[in-house]
């Protein structure tokens, strides 16, 4: 087998994974997790979420090694569970990407509004999406060395400011309770913390650009989860020791509140800059990747054919991009009008947890269905790890839904049911 002339290496894969996962919407999710336990036990919740997500990374690695494809979820689940189930799951996953992008758009708009209050968050949403749609249609991508630099810069700033906060004289973690809400909220805190890792797996499509699909990708996913765990645990510890939880809850920009409290205007601008980089890199990987998935589904015949139109100059799926951005605009403006920013975050967390469960069960199903298919990376210990993560993430999905508002449950159920009905009844009628 020949090698690709230009292959991606470990550092770039880790940077790409971190770039997608490190998002502005992580901070309100982290505060939501903290509010469930009421104290700095949130650090423990983040570590637990990191451990189980690390275990699910093995499943992604095994599947990406078997099928190195940009349409990962579609291929894995089609092989494991058949066409209709796979299409339902894939469309639900696209819905997840739109929801997460909507949350990210609103949070970033809130950051811009905080810096420039003359323009409302709603207006910033529109300005940001207008710029993002043009950038995406032009096919401008943050890749390679630039991604490495931006991710390193983000991590240095977050970790640097967290350490500065921990070693400042205002740090008072000793007076902050550990878990005043008791352990009842601990599992919900872990479930909310899963959001912090959302999108880390979106580098599996890059398996097609890794040297012969070797296990570089598997290790990059594990490193990414480890770095995210350390970064967010450190940030949470620093935030809990410097800012009363009450000041962080209820605001879409707790990271700016933290920055301002710890280092005044400089801290605020550092966190705003981090937010800018985080949103850019998350959007870049997430939206572009999903537009290509929609394009491929339209070419396959699962979406209307017009969605498979490519821009003749930039080779970007511009119709798919316009569809995605229109939906993001509807959801993010709804969030801006209601200020219910936790709803899309919790919906995304619950869908991501369900996806992690499905991926784990896909590994198990394919162990029996496709025993002889070559596996570049194989999880040791039989089906124990995927079975464990499958059950854990299924429980976490239910945990989020049971403990969240009715709007979270409604969006989750409506999204899933529509995905199923579309796959079962509309796709066969498309007939192309």
Partner 1 sequence: MVTAETLISTLNTFVEKVNANLTLKKILKGWSKLVVIKTKDPDTEATLKVEKGTVIDMKFEDTPTADIILSANADVINDIFTGKANPSRLYLDGTLKVFASQKDQMVLDAIVDIVWK
Binding site for partner 1 (CB under 8 A): 1-6, 66-71, 74-75, 78-79, 139, 205, 208-209, 213, 288-289, 292, 295-297, 299-301, 308, 310, 312-313, 315-317
How many Å is the Cα radius of gyration of the chain? 21
Give the C-alpha separation, 215 to 116, whole Å: 46
Minimum CB distance to partner 1 smaller for 185 or for 289: 289
Minimum CB distance to partner 1 smaller for 288 or for 392: 288
- C-alpha dist (Å) from residue 158 to 68, 127, 135: 33, 26, 26
Minimum CB distance to partner 1 smaller for 78 or for 367: 78
Q: How far is the CB of 117 from partner 1 (least distance, A)?
A: 39
Give the C-alpha separation, 277 to 148, whole Å: 12
Minimum CB distance to partner 1 smaller for 172 or for 432: 432
> Locate tokens 């996806």: which residue?
355
Q: How far is the CB of 137 from partner 1 (least distance, A)?
A: 13
Cβ density class 87-106: b for 16+ within 10 Å, e for less = bbbbbbbbbbbbbbbbbbbb
Nearest C-alpha neighbor of 110 from the set 250, 242, 228: 250
Minimum CB distance to partner 1 smaller for 39 or for 139: 139
Q: How far is the CB of 227 from partner 1 (least distance, A)?
A: 24
Minimum CB distance to partner 1 smaller for 4 or for 153: 4
Distance of CA 335 to the CA centre of its chain: 18
Minimum CB distance to partner 1 smaller for 108 or for 303: 303
Q: How far is the CB of 306 from partner 1 (least distance, A)?
A: 13
Angle at 103 between CA 389 and CA 24, to 5 degrees: 85
Give the C-alpha separation, 114 to 251, whole Å: 11
Q: How far is the CB of 3 from partner 1 (least distance, A)?
A: 5
Minimum CB distance to partner 1 smaller for 68 or for 254: 68
Q: How far is the CB of 4 from partner 1 (least distance, A)?
A: 6
Minimum CB distance to partner 1 smaller for 94 or for 347: 94
Q: How far is the CB of 93 from partner 1 (least distance, A)?
A: 13
Burial class for 4, CB neighbours closer than 10 Å (0-12, 13-18, 19+) = exposed
Q: Which residues pair with 8 in a beta bridge?
A: 210
Minimum CB distance to partner 1 smaller for 40 or for 295: 295
Q: How far is the CB of 130 from partner 1 (least distance, A)?
A: 23
Tokens of 209: 């650009």
CB 8 within 8 A of CB 206: yes
Burial class for 392, CB neighbours closer than 10 Å (0-12, 13-18, 19+) = buried
Give the C-alpha separation, 258 to 244, whole Å: 10
Q: How far is the CB of 387 from partner 1 (least distance, A)?
A: 23
Burial class for 181, CB neighbours closer than 10 Å (0-12, 13-18, 19+) = middle
Instruction: Count how many residues are written for the chain.
Output: 432
Q: How far is the CB of 429 from partner 1 (least distance, A)?
A: 17
3-state secondary structure (DSSP) of residue 8 = strand
Query: What is the C-alpha end-to-end distance of the chain, expressed in Å?
Result: 34
Give the C-alpha separation, 240 to 246, whole Å: 10
Q: How far is the CB of 384 from partner 1 (least distance, A)?
A: 25
């Amino acid at each position: 087998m020949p090698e690709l002339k230009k292959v991606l290496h470990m550092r770039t894969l880790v940077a790409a994974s971190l770039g997608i996962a490190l998002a502005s919407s992580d901070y309100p999710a982290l505060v939501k997790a903290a509010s469930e336990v009421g104290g700095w036990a949130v650090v423990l919740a983040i570590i637990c979420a990191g451990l189980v997500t690390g275990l699910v990374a093995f499943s992604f690695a095994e599947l990406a090694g078997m099928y190195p494809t940009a349409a990962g979820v579609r291929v894995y689940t089609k092989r494991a569970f058949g066409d209709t189930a796979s299409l339902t799951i894939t469309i639900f996953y696209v819905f997840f990407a739109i929801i997460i992008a909507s949350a990210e758009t609103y949070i970033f708009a809130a950051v811009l509004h905080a810096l420039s209050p003359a323009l409302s968050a709603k207006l910033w949403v529109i300005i940001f999406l207008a710029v993002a749609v043009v950038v995406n249609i032009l096919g401008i991508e943050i890749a390679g060395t630039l991604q490495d630099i931006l991710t390193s810069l983000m991590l240095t700033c977050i970790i640097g400011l967290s350490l500065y906060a921990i070693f400042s004289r205002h740090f008072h973690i000793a007076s902050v309770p550990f878990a005043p809400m008791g352990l009842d909220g601990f599992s919900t805190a872990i479930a909310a913390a899963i959001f912090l890792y959302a999108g880390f797996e979106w580098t599996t499509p890059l398996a097609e650009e890794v040297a012969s699909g070797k296990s570089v990708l598997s290790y990059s996913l594990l490193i990414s989860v480890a770095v995210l765990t350390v970064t967010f645990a450190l940030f949470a510890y620093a935030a809990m020791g410097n800012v009363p939880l009450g000041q962080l809850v209820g605001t879409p920009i707790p990271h700016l509140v933290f920055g301002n409290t710890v280092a005044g205007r400089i801290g605020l601008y550092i966190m705003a800059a981090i937010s800018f980089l985080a949103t850019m890199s998350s959007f870049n990987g997430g939206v572009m990747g999903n537009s290509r998935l929609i394009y491929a589904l339209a070419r396959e015949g699962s979406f209307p054919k017009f969605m498979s139109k490519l821009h003749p100059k930039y080779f970007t799926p511009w119709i798919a991009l316009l569809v995605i951005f229109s939906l993001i605009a509807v959801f993010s403006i709804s969030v801006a009008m209601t200020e219910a920013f936790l709803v899309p975050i919790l919906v995304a967390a619950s869908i991501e947890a369900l996806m992690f469960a499905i991926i784990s069960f896909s590994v198990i199903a394919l162990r029996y269905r496709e025993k002889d298919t070559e596996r570049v990376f194989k999880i040791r210990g039989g089906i124990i790890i995927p079975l464990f993560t499958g059950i854990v993430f299924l429980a976490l999905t239910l945990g989020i839904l049971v403990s969240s508002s009715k709007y979270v449950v409604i969006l989750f159920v409506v999204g899933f049911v529509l995905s199923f009905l579309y796959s079962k009844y509309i796709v066969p009628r498309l007939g192309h």
